[in-house]
Structure 1
């Protein structure tokens, strides 16, 4: 089999970054990353700075990609309300797929990154474990909009598609604050600096509820599998670490890791209580010789409030992807500790 060429849209996020690293490690891939920023890590990939919402800009900068075989779409643009997510996120996908398909006759596969919010996991209790053939929540939902468009766009084409639905992706990325692992590490570090125990800042019900996460390295492996395995073509798959946990059972391990006393649940809005901590974090960075990242880009506290406020079970059925041939798994508690170790090694936390 000849070399393949991947276009990774959203190349510097938690998901895209880890995928590019895996493709480089695997070999046999030429890689082009699309992002709005320049990479902050060594990479053999080439990078294009493109505003994917600007059709003309995208057309001009993607026109030379006549040999792309695989498009991995991981981009996401945040909007103030759920309904407002639809238009920009669909437009970026349409621009990426239409423009590449028009110039690259060797396009084989387009992979779309979705998420469990398609089931309404962000709204409140939903049917668990959620299966891929469950209906979406009351629309609009941009994942559903994107997938519906992609299904129609692929009809009659020689290329195929796949979609993956992870839950709360965890990994290392700089300047991408919507990462619960980073939020935990920074919250713990600041709490320790203030002489506080490690309290769970979310709702009591969230401390007790069943939850699941997806390791970015595991997700990257599933992406390559889904983009190349015959059993995954034109299919949708849930993907997580494969296990479930309750925060109350992993929080003591976090306290132990950061050498802190374990506190009780004390519900506080992190968005509010962490808003004034930039000077304190700056002092920690200087004292410990940490990497200089703007405090606003360290952790997304509204995202942490959302995760720690989810006081209902979040469970998806991952049997379909296993039955189709992808069998990797990760123990979530061990994943968190390994990621904390990586944050320390990279001087992101003390």
Structure 2
């Protein structure tokens, strides 16, 4: 995941990318991977900068733009100067309203509309737009348990559900409408549980996991799994390495063989099968937390057990001389509770991406988790305690 350095004479720029959501889990990896390739210039757009990311990116071909995309006047002012953009990556979303609500749809659609209004009239060089949504494309909140177990995998042609209030659908429809006239190719990528490092992500599993492990170690608490037995013993969601998802975005964006002006949908998942029961002990050991004899507890609720531990996290940050973060910058306990008590399975197939020639794989989600623990340690977001 190294970032390329510009030494010697600077090669002429061939591709210019703008990444909306550059500080998120996949956005950070997109920035790094594009800058490691020759002849790319990258604009990163987000509401707030990630100072930890700046430490790793010292490249004259990168420029960060702070912008509130929900403000149409600010968006036009900040982005109207962009010229010669060839590739647009949309890996952001607005989270103020509940999922599957009309307000959430309207807000996310408005945010993308503002960005497109600022950029599209001023550029003729755009080749590809890459949209990231997720496996929730296939399920609706309140739709209940999905039967089929490991034998049931969602394919990209699975029908829409839930009456159309999933904001993913609104974004796909918007791109289809806005890009059709210019014959611009676009793709949509649907990851499962994204595994990566960021302090600007609402649904941050690795951040939550690592903060939980650090607090357990600090307070000598057992590293319990709190959720339903089905979520403990069966596979409910695919793991999606943030680096792999970023590679798929780039591969689709520059691959003429999968060109589609009507949108090419691709699941973006590791490709292996795992259960929390199989990997929970190894994760606890990696984080140096106490491993209880019985790790599963249906009565343990993360938001209840960890919700009041903000001051404990501050003690850990100070003691270990970590990057100054609040607990909420990394951990989202309500999200973990929802994940481990999810009534519906979101397991998908990556057969289409494989068939089209995308060769990157991450066949061991546990190894992926352990890698991101080490990455967060290197970034000084979590303590160097454990294996």
Per the shorter chain, which TM-score range? Answer: over 0.9
Relative distance call for 1:241 and 1:121 in structure 2 (3 A) is farther
Alignment match, 1:299: 331
Query: CA separation in 1, counterparts of 2:344 and 2:334?
Result: 18
Alignment match, 1:157: 182
Matched, 1:134 2:158: yes
Q: Deviations over 1:26-72 (max 9, x none)?
A: 23211111111123123331111111111121111111112111110
Matched, 1:289 2:310: no
Aligned match of 1:217 in 230, 243, 252? 243
Alignment match, 1:265: 296
Alignment of 1:171-250 (within 5 A): 171-210=196-235, 211-234=237-260, 235-250=264-279
Q: What secondary structure sits across from 1:107 in the alignment?
A: coil
Query: CA separation in 2, counterparts of 1:95 and 1:284?
Result: 41
Aligned match of 1:26 in 13, 19, 37? 37
Query: CA separation in 1, counterparts of 2:336 and 2:375?
Result: 20
Q: Is the 8 A contact 1:86 1:142 kept in 2?
A: yes
Query: CA separation in 2, counterparts of 1:261 and 1:9?
Result: 40
Query: CA separation in 2, counterparts of 1:134 and 1:213?
Result: 20
TM value normalised by structure 1: 0.95
Query: CA separation in 1, counterparts of 2:214 and 2:84?
Result: 46
Query: CA separation in 1, counterparts of 2:242 and 2:165?
Result: 27
Relative distance call for 1:51 and 1:165 in structure 2 (3 A) is same
Q: Is the 8 A contact 1:6 1:71 kept in 2?
A: yes
Q: Is the 8 A contact 1:175 1:293 kept in 2?
A: no
Higher mean alpha-carbon deviation, 268-277 vs 88-97, is at: 268-277
Query: CA separation in 1, counterparts of 2:137 and 2:271?
Result: 19
Q: For residue 79 of structure 1, report the CA deviation from its aligned partner.
A: 2.8
Q: What secondary structure sits across from 1:22 in the alignment?
A: helix
Alignment match, 1:110: 129
Matched, 1:338 2:371: yes
Q: Deviations over 1:262-306 (max 9, x none)?
A: 342123332232121011111112222222111221211111111
Q: Deviations over 1:300-327 (max 9, x none)?
A: 1111111111255331011111111102
Query: CA separation in 1, counterparts of 2:74 and 2:273?
Result: 43
Runs of 4+ in 1 over 4 A off after TM superposition: none
Query: CA separation in 1, counterparts of 2:155 and 2:141?
Result: 16
Alignment match, 1:86: 105
Aligned match of 1:60 in 77, 80, 87? 77
Instruction: List gaps (5 residues or longer) in structure 2.
Output: 1-11
TM value normalised by structure 2: 0.86
Query: CA separation in 2, counterparts of 1:110 and 1:175?
Result: 23
Higher mean alpha-carbon deviation, 223-232 vs 173-182, is at: 173-182
Aligned match of 1:95 in 114, 138, 160? 114
How many aligned positions are there?
Answer: 350
Query: CA separation in 2, counterparts of 1:296 and 1:256?
Result: 24
Query: CA separation in 2, counterparts of 1:325 and 1:345?
Result: 33
Higher mean alpha-carbon deviation, 322-331 vs 75-84, is at: 75-84
Q: How well do the aligned residues superpose, as a CA RMSD in angstroms?
A: 1.8
Relative distance call for 1:39 and 1:192 in structure 2 (3 A) is closer
Q: For residue 92 of structure 1, report the CA deviation from its aligned partner.
A: 1.2
Alignment match, 1:310: 342
